[in-house]
Amino acid sequence: MSSEARGRLAAGLVSAGVALVYSLIAVIQWRTLAAPSWDLGIFSQLAKAYSTASAPIVPIKGEGFNLLGDHFHPILVLLGPVWRIWPTPLTLLVLQGVLFAVSSYPITRLAVQRLGMGLGVGLGLAYGLSWGLQSAINVQFHEIAFAVPLLAFGLVAYLRGHLVQAALWIGALVFVKEDLGVTVAVFGAILALRQPRRARLGWGLAAWGIAWLVLATVVILPALNTANQYDYTDNVASLTGLFVPIDKWITVIMLIAMAGGIGLRSPLILMMLPTLAWRFAGNVEYYWDWRWHYSAVLMPIAAAALLDAHAVLAKRREGLSNRAIGGIAVANSALVTLVLGTSLPVWNLVNPGVTAESPKGYRPNCVYGIRGLPSIRKGKVGVYMLWEHVGWLLPGILLVVVYVIPSS
């Protein structure tokens, strides 16, 4: 078997394994009546409407409420045929897990090619079972389920030099959620600046992203909204609160670790900024930390930034070896998820007590954390709390910063 075939097989096995794990979690959630929010009911009503070729009217949100007036996610029309075949909310739970699993295929395959079989599979698993994706699985279906594979395939195509394919994959993000238009624009700018010969493609993609952002928030959403407005304008807090509370810094450190530390060297890491900007500028507490689905779209970016930076560092001739750099980066990426293990839904598969108890085991606003450690929710602030919760990440990150980040 050729190395290419082995890489495809390894990526396929990782993807299948992730799909199996997330499908089992979906079944557990369904059988235990887990209800972290009303979102599964909302998207189930949307899927049911699309299955009959009707407008996505969602009575849960209000009489005659068109969900396309809430967020701009026309890609969800694809749920219609799936719901028609398997008309149950469990469909959405399983589908989200499968989409996340599919996204692990291109990332694992590229990782195997660039890092070798062991580290490549390690990164594939660290990504496929990452805290960002598990948190999204924990709070059940959201439209970002479609964004994750689009980002994964698009960014891998970019790293392989298939720029038109990358632009098509990333460009489709505008049909997942309105704010992703800014992410598309940032990617377009990166493409244009790093690939001057394809600058027209890059700037065109950037214009595409901004155009859809404006069209969605200024025209389409207000037109379909029952109040004739974009509902989330009032969710923005003052700029003075952009960097507090400390939950936001913890999220940032976790993302740096997910990118292996070395991902800071890649321009692709800038694609995280639009999502982090609206989250940190928001006045909704759930936006700030890692527990909900808001970090799922950042996981493919983190993995791609790690691989991009490693390719650059591999050209250096001094300092740590390429394998050592890759090993440290993959270890950083995996460590953050491993330490959060008992707070994530995969733990429920080996913890029978959770499946036998009430759905509270899945609530994203419950007290999470390593057993024996107090939760952020208990009100601790300051440097001590930062170290207490994420200090275990800092040695690996510092090692990368000291030995890897400096230019040769």
Separation CA 303–CA 152 (nearest Å): 9
End-to-end CA distance of the chain, in Å?
38
The residue whose two tokens read 């972290």 is 36
Phi-psi region of 249 (alpha: psi -120 to 50; beta: other; left: phi over 0): alpha
Would the pLDDT of 46 be above 70? yes
Tell me the average pLDDT across 358-387.
Answer: 37
Q: pLDDT of 113-147, one tens digit each? A: 999 999 999 999 999 999 999 999 999 999 999 99
Separation CA 344–CA 257 (nearest Å): 17
pLDDT level of residue 319 (50, 70, 90 thresholds): low
State the pLDDT at residue 313.
86
The pTM of this model reads 0.87
pLDDT level of residue 347 (50, 70, 90 thresholds): confident
Name which residue leads in pLDDT, 241 or 73.
73
State the pLDDT at residue 380.
38
Separation CA 224–CA 222 (nearest Å): 6
Separation CA 159–CA 277 (nearest Å): 25
The whole-chain average pLDDT of the chain stands at 86
Would the pLDDT of 83 be above 90? yes
HSE value, Cβ hemisphere, 13 Å, CA-based, for 56: 25
16-25, 250-259, 365-374, 397-406: range with lowest mean pLDDT: 365-374
Ranges of each domain in the chain: 3-403
The residue whose two tokens read 């694609």 is 271
Buried b (16+ CB within 10 A) or exposed e, 212-226: bbeebbeebbeebbe
